[in-house]
Structure 1
Amino acid sequence: MTEQTPTMPADHRELISDLSGIVCDYPNGDPEDSLSILAYDAREVLDHVDTPEGRRERAGYTVLLHATCWYVAARLFSKAMYTSYTKALEGFRATLDPANCTCPDGSHPKDGDPEYSVGVGVSLLTEAGRAEFVEDYGIDDEELAAYDCEGFLADLADEAAARIREAYEENFGDIDVSHLDARYVRDGGGIDVVALQKAVRHSSEGNTGPVALWSARRWLSGQVRDEDRLGLFLSLWMGIDQSYAGLPPSYARDMAAAVDTIGLEVSCDHQRHPWSTAEKTVESRYRAVIHLYAPEDHPDTPVPADLASRERWECPVQYAELARSAKKNLEGWRVMRGGGEEDWEV
């Protein structure tokens, strides 16, 4: 860098470091706080967007919101965050007219990786940052001007806003799993617990969340035969336990409601219960449940014979133990993914 080139403000360098950690999925601090501030600062630009400074900042913040929107969509469960991003993006979009684009075809900046885009976005906020960006990357005035193009920025704002809207529905909306009735409800109204377990077992296929949600809703509907209650609840429990990265409120609400139906103030004379004897692996628990529901087809079980009576399996204390651990996992999702009580309310 030459001595004549202005230097980027120190706080902007910190912003690059902070946002780079977030988009690389290794945040340095609380990403919800950092991204809330980013969206707030972006909305503040709308008050002076018709000034040269405001137009520079509009370009920078549009790039930054676009670069970080995937993290909001995939990692954070705060309705306020989604609203803040949407207001900023829609506010910018209202000031942009793609018809003003005079760029040659194909000359708009290509969509780079989010970490690179973070550096570009922060650089665009100030004249000093732009000068440093030009020198570091050897771009010409025409290439720099393309970042201010209203057509380019409108496309970024539209894409980011669409992603936020779609994620909002996925994370907070009503997930339809009614199509699973045909797969797991037998003729006559019984539940195919073995089929449920096979689906939960293959978590890599994306079955776990939908199957656990279906189990929760079936439980809450009351359309469960007595002989199927245990298998259905264990399928719900396993779905919660195996969702290691947590599921959004659109799933967690009904799961929490189902778990809350279990009474916790219970006691028994049993020293141990069947579930506690299965190893804490998906395979071991799977074998325990399918043996319980189809012993002739699946004779192998990790549960000792002296603990395998249906009476022990159905013990209210075992249900309570399962419910407590499920509640702990559900609370862990809240802590891990952020948001307030209102975002996770049942």
Structure 2
Amino acid sequence: MTPTMPADHRELISDLSGIVNDHPSTDPEVTLTVLARDAAEALDRVGTPEGLRERTGYTVLLHATCWYVAARVFSKSLSASYTKALDGFRATLDPASCSCPDGSHPTDLDSEYTVEAGVGLLTEAGRAAFAEDYDIDDEELAAYDCDGFLADLADRATASIREAYGRNFGGIDVSHLDAQFLRDGGGIDVVAVQEAIRRTWEDNTGPVALWSARRWLSGQVRDEERLGVFLSMWMGIAQSYGGLPPSYARDLTAAMDTIDLDVTCDHPRHPWHTADATVESRYRAVLHLYAPDDHPNTPVPADLASRDLWECPFQYAELARSAKTDLEGWRVMRGGDEEDWEA
């Protein structure tokens, strides 16, 4: 008879495969919270054959999904749940007991395959189905249960979660950007800031926006720099399409909270809204403001290019509102409790 996996485990494979492929069909935070909870409950059964199978399966699954917890879900409680379960399993493993031949531990652990392996390894029926599907012999299957193999997975997953915890919730040091963005007299080189934030391929949008926010909050912004620093913050938020973690969002939110939203004006249009909503167009608009001789081309029409229009408090308010909407969207999109996003 062809071995079959329990129906709920087939559903789990589907749910986790969507998550590790970055196309979840369920709420990832809920699904991964349940996974971590079930893994923690299995710790009580490690002394039984069932519990040993579960230790293998859950360690593999926590390893397969830890990158998503680290990079996509900004939840302190979920990170803590993963760390607790991984530490619990790790405490029961003795890597020195490994007697496997060199090179016999599983290595082809792409995320979707590892999800199938992990779920399959949870039960006898699942193991049989997994072995048949992938033509795995008994020796290869036994390597998944090796203490040395599992300890290595647990160690790597735990290190990834702990490193990400600091990056997502701790203090981010962007002081090294002072050397790039501050002139000798202490003024801000807005053109240099814009050159940096434009290089999105360097994954520097968040750090540049955070540097701008902290400079803004420090009060060390001259009147003529204020607009450039504000637009750099705004661009950093608008161009972080996947959302930045709380370690960035806290200061960005605080900076936007300094803008007075209760203002009006009689202007029919403002300069920023005439620039196309692209990185290049916004970049050209700001560079023309701060270095018009070097950057004569601007997407802003001449009749809207006056500094008074640029500095209109209503434009600041409009942009601050849109930025705050984006910031709130990050919290909804990336999960976590409200206090996870607060200072």
Structure 1 residue 170 displacement after superposition: 1.2
Aligned to 1:267: 264
The partner residue of 2:61 within 53, 64, 69 is 64
Paired residue type of 1:114: S
* Structure 1 Cα separation of the partners of residues 134 and 186 of structure 2: 66
Match of 1:112 in 2: 109
- Distance in 1 between residues matched to 2:104 and 2:198, nearest whole Å: 49
Of 270, 274, 277, which residue of structure 1 is paired with 2:274? Answer: 277
Q: Cα offset for 1:111?
A: 3.9
Matching of residues 299-338 of structure 1 within 5 Å: 299-338=296-335
- Match of residue 21, structure 2, among 24, 28, 41: 24
Task: Show the counterpart of 1:49.
Answer: 46
Give the alignment of 1:220-239 within 5 angstroms. Answer: 220-239=217-236
Q: 2:185 aligns with which of 185, 188, 191?
A: 188
Give the direction of change, closer, same or farther, for the CA distance of 1:226–1:148 in structure 2 (3 Å limit): same
What is the SS of the residue equivalent to 1:301?
A: coil
Query: Structure 1 runs of 4+ off > 6 angstroms?
Result: none
Q: CA deviation at 1:48?
A: 1.5
Q: Which amino acid aligns with 1:302?
A: P
TM-score by length of 1: 0.96
Task: Return the letter of the residue paired with 1:153.
Answer: L
Is residue 164 of structure 1 aligned with residue 161 of structure 2?
yes
| CA deviation after TM superposition for structure 1 residue 106, in Å | 1.5
Q: CA deviation at 1:253?
A: 0.9
Q: Are residues 1:78 and 2:80 paired?
A: no
The amino acid that maps onto 2:216 is W
Question: 1:143 maps to what in 2?
Answer: 140
State the match for 1:89 in structure 2: 86
How many angstroms apart in 2 are the aligned matches of 1:105 and 1:301?
Answer: 62
CA distance in 2, matches of 1:226, 1:119: 59
What's the secondary structure of 2:86's corresponding residue?
Answer: helix
**Residue identity in the other structure for 1:124:** L
Distance 1:304 1:146 in 2: 68
Amino acid in the other structure paired with 2:203: G
Shift in Å at residue 334 of structure 1? 1.2
5 Å-filtered alignment, 1:3-14, equals 3=1, 5-14=2-11
Give how far 1:207 is off: 2.0
Deviations 1:308-346 (A, max 9, x none): 221221111111011001011111111211112111114
| Shift in CA distance, 295/101, structure 1 to aligned 2, threshold 3 Å | same
Separation (CA, whole Å) in 2 of partners of 1:242 and 1:309: 26
Letter in 2 for 1:99: A
TM (norm. structure 2) is 0.97
Structure 1, unmatched stretches of 5+, are none
| Root-mean-square deviation (Å) | 1.2
**Number of equivalent positions:** 343
- Report the residue type matching 1:78 in the other structure: S
* Superposition pairs of residues 195-214 of structure 1, within 5 angstroms: 195-214=192-211
Partners in 1 of 2:14 and 2:302 — Cα distance?
Answer: 58
For 2:108 and 2:257, locate their aligned partners in 1 and report how far apart those are by CA, in whole Å: 46
- Do structure 1's residue 178 and structure 2's residue 179 form an aligned pair? no
Take 1:224 and 1:90, find their aligned partners in 2: how far apart are those partners? 47
Displacement after TM superposition at 1:6 (Å):
4.1
Query: After superposition, what is the alpha-carbon deviation per residue over 1:266-302, rounded to whole angstroms, capped at 9, x for unaligned?
Result: 1122222111222222222211111111111112222
Q: Which whole-Å CA distance do the structure 1 matches of 2:328 and 2:210 have between them? A: 17
Question: Where does structure 2 lack aligned partners over 5 or more consecutive residues?
Answer: none
Give the AA of the match of 1:88: A
Q: Which range moved further: 39-48 or 336-345?
A: 336-345
The equivalent position to 1:131 in structure 2, one of 128, 133, 143, is 128
